[in-house]
Amino acid sequence: MAASSPATLAIGLITATAIAFFPATSASAAPKPTESELRTQLKQLNTKVDKLIEQYNLKRVELAKAQEAAKTAKDRLATAEETLATAERRVAEIARLRYQNGNLPVPGFILPGQGGSAAVLEQVTAEQQAIVQGVAKARDAKKKAAEEAAALAADIREDTAEVAGQRDEAEDVIDDIKDKLQELVPFGTGRNSDGSWAPELPSGADNITSRTRIMREQVRKNFALPHEVGCFRAGSGGEHPLGRACDFMMSTGGSMPSAANLALGDRIADWAIKNKDKLGVKYVIWKQRINQGSGWRSMSDRGSITENHFDHVHISMN
């Protein structure tokens, strides 16, 4: 079952790709992959992991259905057995009446004028026989359903474990690639030997500093930005007129971003803080909070989604 599943085929592709980029021995080592090659591989692996996660979730759904089928069969049997118990009590009452009347056949211990009662007893006996047969069928059906559900559940658990394991392996490869890409993040320009940052003037047609330009391009490389990036802005406060800040928009028109873009903003903000010392980031503002490298702290309410930085990640540079 697992051998020919789509997930297994995808896993094979991941393994082959990983081996191609990360050979086992130095003797056969290929040239160090370029940044472009790493990003291409990362994109491919992310797509495959998404498919594996989808397959993993489908297996879990199938497992839940198999378990539910076994439970339903068990419930049906319990109902049938309860019905049988009721019938057996009724038959026991018939037997008691027969015993009290010398164990005569049903018509024999019914007094004259009680023909209706005899008919009722015969009907009860027939019903009891039918119920016994129904319970027997229910037990057979329950046994079959339970066996099928158990077999299916075992197969699904095996497939689920395999897919989950291969997904984890693929994610490990992705983490390795991300680490390699992290190593490629350049140092900002103008860093002094003591770790401080030399002042920079804006330059170029975009009127931003060299450090700001490096930061902006690195964000563009590492994230699929949904909207425009605004950096230089004359006449406003803060670092924008100095060419030392950029706003990475997560929505437009002053609206609240989608859940996906809010999560993207979180990743961009975290990435900027992580690379603060390398790039020369001064602080990050996002979702009415500011982080200068020592953790997030809340900011006062400025009255709108945009002013409170819910629709864009603001990154200021030294």
CB atoms within 10 A of CB 51: 18
The better pLDDT of the pair 129, 231 is held by 231
Q: What is the pLDDT of residue 159?
A: 74
Q: What is the predicted pLDDT for the residue at 204?
A: 95
The per-residue pLDDT for 176 is 76
Answer yes or no: are the C-beta atoms of 200 and 210 closer than 8 Å.
Answer: yes
Residue 114, SS3 per DSSP: coil
% of the chain exceeding 90 in pLDDT: 39
Task: Categorize the per-residue pLDDT at 66 as very low, low, confident or very high, splitting at 50, 70 and 90.
Answer: confident
Q: Are 109 and 98 in contact (CB under 8 A)?
A: yes
Domains of the chain in start order, with CATH, are 6-183 (1.10.287), 210-317 (no CATH)
**Is 63's pLDDT higher than 90?**
no
What's the CA gap between 30 and 264, in Å, rounded?
34
What per-residue confidence (pLDDT) applies to 13?
44
Q: In the structure encoding, which two tokens stand for residue 67, read together?
A: 């378990």
Contact criterion met (CB below 8 Å) for 145 and 70: yes
What is the pLDDT confidence band of residue 6, given thresholds at 50, 70 and 90? very low
Burial (CB count within 10 angstroms: exposed 0-12, middle 13-18, buried 19+), residue 181: middle
For residue 22, report the phi and psi dihedrals to the nearest 5 degrees: -130, 70
Cα–Cα distance for residue pair 45/284, rounded to 1 Å: 30
Residue-wise pLDDT for 216-273, tens only, equals 999 999 999 999 999 999 987 789 999 999 999 999 999 999 999 999 999 999 999 9
Average pLDDT over residues 18-23: 46
What is the pLDDT, as a whole number, of residue 81?
Answer: 75
DSSP state of 103: T
pLDDT tier at 282, thresholds 50, 70, 90: very high
For 38, the token pair is 């790493």
Write the Ramachandran bin of 252: left for phi over 0, alpha for psi from -120 to 50, otherwise beta: beta
Instruction: Reply yes or no on whether the pLDDT at 145 is more than 90.
Output: no
Considering only residues 160 and 220, tell me which one the structure prediction assigns the higher pLDDT.
220
pLDDT over 70, % of the chain:
78
Give which of 209, 201, 202 is closest to 279, Cα–Cα: 209
Question: For the ranges 6-15, 127-136, 162-171, 178-187, which has the lowest average pLDDT?
Answer: 6-15
User: Does 13 or 66 have the greater pLDDT score?
Assistant: 66
pTM of the prediction? 0.54
For 233, the token pair is 């802005």
Distance set, CA 317 to CA 58, 218, 240 (Å): 46, 14, 10
* pLDDT for residue 108 is more than 60: no
Rounded average pLDDT over 34-39:
79
